[in-house]
Every structure is written in structure tokens, then in C-alpha cells.
Amino acid sequence: MSLSSINTLVVVDVVEWSEVYPNPHPIRNVAEWFARFLRDIDGLSVSVVSATGAVQQAIESPGVFGVIVSGSPRDAWVKDHVNDRLIEMIRHCQDRSLPYLGVCFGHQILAVAMSGEVAREPAGVEFGNVPITLTLEGKNDPLFEGLPEEFMVLESHQDAVLKLPPDATLLATGRHTRVQGFRCGEWLRGVQFHPEYDPEILRFIWEPRRVTWRDRCSFDIDTRMRELEPTPLGPRILKNFVKICRRRLNE
């Protein structure tokens, strides 16, 4: 297979929609959350597989050069068959030096797979527009190429990486949740925030939760939802990940 034919990015969709979310609805297309920022990259194909589907087969398909694992309402620290399969997949990526990017839950399950610690964030739910800061290593990591030392992202999580895996490198930090980004080895990376989100997606996800979570949050959820703003720098991370995938092909 020629290098020019290896151009597929697999998005593993771990989102679990309950009946309160209308189906069909265009925002329920998780792969599209990512793909819309990557269409201008020549020759790139984005495919999607459900976390409950043939994940291993998908990432071993001809032409695959990178994997993104989405966010999810799941808890990465719970032992069940879905998490176990994702952990097996991540270790397969590590063994093959296949670039991996975990987003929110995907970031947390990466930490679990690499023997880090994930649990409820002691500071509580983190939601909305949040500034993150790159570490020195983060400023030099290709995932954050072209980004300033501090920039705004969208967050939506109640779990967090509390202890990095052995030999992991911290790439980004925050005031509420310390571990906002890390790298294991050269090819496995995770970010706690959502570079693929925009305010419309976040409002769609949280609108049915608003009443239930109002008393569980240390902030005014109604105000926070109303004041959500776009974070245009976030999607650069997705483009940079594709560059990492292509660099791996040339090594």
C-alpha cells in the first residue's frame, strides 16, 4: 500500500444518547463534530465506528493512520466490557505506534489504559468556556503547534485524570482541572476539553440535563449556558493531530 493511500482517520463514537434527545437530529452526528473541521485537508477520509461495534477491526482496516476517541457520559474508571475493549484498542495503538487522540472520556480512558488514575473531579463539574495553559512541553508539542500559551476551550465533564500514567508528559493545565492534556510516548495524546464542540452542541447536550444538574453544580448553569461563546482555536488541535498522523507515515 502506498503512503498516499493511507489517509483514513477513525473516530470512535462513545456517546450514549438517551430517549430525551430527539432522533433523528443533525447534532447527534458525533463524527461530524470532528469531520467538519477537517474537510479542507486534501486526501483525508474520516470514518466512524461505535464503541459497541467492531472497534478493533475498524482501526486495523487498510488506510487507517490515526484514531480519535470521543467524549461520553460513561465513566472511564468503571470496569465493563466497553471500557475493556477500548483499553485493549489503546494498547494496540501503542504497540503499533498508531497515533491516538482521546477527547474528554477518550482522554480519561487513555489514562486508565496507561495505569493512571481517573475519578470524579474533586472541584466538581467543569462546564463552559475555560482558559487552559500550555506547559513548556505542551508549547513544544506538535498537537498545540501555532497556539498561544493560554487559550479558551469548551469543557463539559465531572470526571478527571487525577494522576498521570507513569512516564506521561503533562501538556496543558487548568485552574479547575489540573490535567487538561498529556502525552504517553510519542503517539498517544489526550485532551480533557472539547476542541470539536461549539456552543450549539454544548447547549443541545445540556438542555435536557439542566433541571437535574442545577443543584449539583457550584455555578449558575442557566447563566453559563446562556453565555457560551465559540472557541475558534480549539479545532486547530484536530488539524495538528492529522499532521502528527501523516508525520508518523514518513518515519
Residues designated as active site: 104, 194, 196
Compute the Cα dihedral for 194, 196, 202, 205 and give only its sign. negative
Distance, CA of 200 to CA of 62 (rounded, Å): 35
Q: Is residue 133 within a helix (H) or strand (E), and if so which, with residue range?
A: strand 126-134
Cα 22 to chain center, whole Å? 24
Q: Is residue 91 within a helix (H) or strand (E), and if so which, with residue range?
A: helix 81-96
Q: Is residue 170 within a helix (H) or strand (E), and if so which, with residue range?
A: strand 169-173
Distance, CA of 35 to CA of 41 (rounded, Å): 10
